[in-house]
Structure 1
Amino acid sequence: MSEQRKPAEEYVVVRHRPGHRIRRTAILLIFTLVAAAAGYATGLAQGGFRFSSTQESNRALEDEVENLREEFREARQQLINLERGKAIDEQALNQARRTIVELETRIVSLQSDLTFYRNIMAPSETSKGLQVDSLTLAFDRAQDAYDFKLVLTQVGNNKSYISGVVAVNVIGLRDEEKEVIALRDLSEDIEDLGVKFRFRYFQDVEGSLVLPEDFEPIEIQVVAQAEGQKSSQAERTFRWDQLTEN
């Protein structure tokens, strides 16, 4: 009696790809972080910082900061785990590092925003009412002009609007003589000598300015005058070299 033959065993050849699992994990991590950041940015763009109360505003900002901190901690731990692997994909590692840098930058920005709004709604006794909060300048080489952003704030009592005008003058030297030039004469974005404002919490005044070739700027003087029941004046002078040192 012949012995029954067993069917031949079949073998499947699988290509060995070192680092595939780690690379896949890194990519999933990156997409998760990017999606979280994009979701936050979308919510911020749609809703903006709209205040219903001091507590709700501070709580919302603190929650966002804490969420980003948690994502940062998780991403950093994942990065440590990936770095310990022997078959790590360099591209995935570099992308993870860039994502962590972006999260760190976003956290710093949120903390700055949180400080800004806390100062508006919980000020010291010496800084209440209309304030000239900040002025920034950024040189645009393509246009040979300076982009400016002036921020006015109402600190403390934000229950009602504050309105008035703000005047901005650039003080400098022309032919070794002191000269004061109104922002209106340097910027096409400003039509009046005094820029009108009306806000509850803060208002930005933005545009670009071009200096005369023979004019050497020294400082910028900002004078804001509130009208009506909240009549008050806020004045602040900014040194040109400090505004443009970066």
Structure 2
Amino acid sequence: MSQAEIKTVVKRVNVVRQRQLRIAVFSFVVIATGVVYYLGYQNGFDDRVPLVLDEAGLKARISKLETRLSVESETLSRLREELANKESKVGDLERELVFYRDIMSSSEDVSSVKVREPDFSWRPESRELEYRAVVQRLAPGTQSYQGQMTVELIDLEGRALDAAYLSTPTHTVGFKYFQRISGIITVPEGFTASEVRFSVKLSKPRKRSYEQRFAWQETPADSA
């Protein structure tokens, strides 16, 4: 390349002005950033979860929530208990319905009665046998039944325990459909029971006698 083709370019730079320009640009960026942050803070203020700085107020709120939880738990327990009671009552009503259906559909003699399977409860500490039973009619109708019933504890040899050990030696019978009876038998030491005998003597609507026996023995587990 010849010397004739060489060009020299001279550029004048104003150092003070360039420095001022840089400072202005920097200041603009800082101000713009601050404005953007401020606007974002203001727009998001309503969406933020407020901080509870009042410790007493926070404790009071927690106490209210705990009280509400306790009340709701108690209410739920009460509702469950009431539901269980209603279910039990429904079960009793269903059994009574079956009972009445059996009576109304029976073709037995009008004076026929029977003792339903009794419930026995043994108390080994006091050697007491509690019985609960139901005597019922076996034929449809509206006649009333009257008479007496005796309950006896029988040993292995067929001998009956003395009536002095019974709380109710004789039950008066008087019902139209059924009658519940209950009593307690004190079993003396040495008496080996084998069954409980229920004897019914009707005077109305006809004179009839009925006897039913239900097995019961004092087991070693009962004596323990």
* CA–CA separation in structure 2 for the residues paired with 1:106 and 1:97: 14
Where in structure 2 are the equivalents of 1:65-80 lying within 5 Å?
Answer: none
Runs of 4 or more consecutive aligned structure 1 residues displaced over 3 Å after TM superposition: 13-21, 89-99, 140-144
Is the aligned partner of 1:118 residue 2:101?
yes
The match for 1:199 is: 175
Residues 114, 241 of structure 1: alpha-carbon distance in 2 compared, 3 angstrom cutoff:
farther
The match for 2:191 is: 215
SS at match of 2:143: coil
C-alpha contact 2:105 2:140 (8 A) present in aligned 1? no
What is the CA RMSD across the aligned residues, in angstroms? 3.5
Is the aligned partner of 1:169 residue 2:152?
yes
Choose which of 136, 147, 159 in structure 2 pairs with 1:153.
Answer: 136
The match for 1:65 is: none
Q: Which has the larger radius of gyration?
A: 2
Residue identity in the other structure for 1:123: S
Deviation at 1:20, TM superposition (A): 7.5
Residue identity in the other structure for 2:206: K
State TM-score, norm by structure 1. Answer: 0.51
Gaps of 5+ in 1: 1-12, 28-88
* CA–CA separation in structure 1 for the residues paired with 2:61 and 2:204: 79
Choose which of 206, 211, 220 in structure 2 pairs with 1:230.
Answer: 206
The match for 1:132 is: 115
Residue identity in the other structure for 2:179: Q
Gaps of 5+ in 2: 1-56
After superposition, what is the alpha-carbon deviation per residue over 1:13-55, rounded to whole angstroms, capped at 9, x for unaligned?
894755877x59xx6xxxxxxxxxxxxxxxxxxxxxxxxxxxx
* CA–CA separation in structure 2 for the residues paired with 1:218 and 1:109: 31
After superposition, what is the alpha-carbon deviation per residue over 1:156-199, rounded to whole angstroms, capped at 9, x for unaligned?
244222222323332223xxxx1421572321322x5xx44232
Q: Report % sequence identity.
A: 19
- State the number of aligned residues: 160
State TM-score, norm by structure 2. Answer: 0.56
* CA–CA separation in structure 2 for the residues paired with 1:183 and 1:168: 11
